[in-house]
Amino acid sequence: AQKITQTQPGMFVQEKEAVTLDCTYDTSDPSYGLFWYKQPSSGEMIFLIYQGSYDQQNATEGRYSLNFQKARKSANLVISASQLGDSAMYFCAMRVTDSGGSNYKLTFGKGTLLTVNP
């Protein structure tokens, strides 16, 4: 079974500083995808960044980068130059191809609540 662990229930960061949100995962499948989503207080789920298990380089999207350490099974999200609008819940998620060839289910972690202080 797949599992995502986010060990930080809450994180605080000063505006303009960088912050790392931790995510570890567990799967025996060699082919998987890792996602990060942002959920602001309004409740919608916003896709941030994706990393494939076979990707050679760490994914980056603007101020977001994913620190992918395959051997350690970690996929930490790094947000550079934090902004007040970054305050939100952040979820790490994983998708694998199961034994039946299906690959549509996302398994989510419990999330990390990030607060950016002015």
Site residues (CB under 8 A) for another protein, limited to 35-94 = 35, 37, 42-45, 47, 50, 52-53, 91, 93
Nearer to another protein among residue 15 and residue 61 (C-beta)? 61
Structural contact between residues 32 and 53, judged by C-beta atoms closer than 8 angstroms: yes
Number of residues binding to another protein, judged by CB under 8 A: 29
Nearest to 116 by CA among 76, 92, 89, 96: 89
Nearest to 21 by CA among 53, 56, 54, 63: 63
Give residues in contact with another protein (CB under 8 A).
4, 31-33, 35, 37, 42-45, 47, 50, 52-53, 91, 93, 95-97, 102-111
